[in-house]
Amino acid sequence: MDNPEPDLNSELMALTFKIRDFFAPHVSILKEVRIKPGLSVLDYGCRSGSYINAASGLVGESGKIYALDIHPIAIWNLCVTVNPSSIRLTIYSAA
């Protein structure tokens, strides 16, 4: 995948998510929706994949994570920051 150029909106959204992530731990949020070992989880609108590592820890080795986003920059960022082979991750682009 080519290295797409981020626009201002993408950069501001990424900053907003980083601030949110600082104050709201992902594992706590995911436990509220009862993600358990062996489940399959779809991170719809995954952006940079900020929930993927936490979800991966909850579903364990028997579970699976799917990441989907329409924005090519989000998919590129996800591919750069997350190693799909280490957490049973499948990435889809809806673009």
Sorted by where each begins, the domain ranges of the chain are: 8-93
E strand spans, 38-87: 40-44, 64-69
Amino acid found at 95: A
* pLDDT higher than threshold 80 for residue 87: no
Residue-wise pLDDT tens digits, 56-73: 989 998 999 999 998 888
8-93 classified as CATH 3.40.50.150: yes
Closest of 76, 90, 80 to residue 2, by C-alpha: 76
Kindly report, residue by residue over 14-63, the tens digit of the pLDDT. Answer: 788 788 878 888 888 888 899 999 999 999 988 878 888 889 989 998 99
pLDDT, residue 28, reads 83
pLDDT of 93 reads 83
What's the CA gap between 83 and 95, in Å, rounded?
A: 21
Give the orientation angle of helix 8-23 with respect to helix 72-81, to 10 degrees.
50
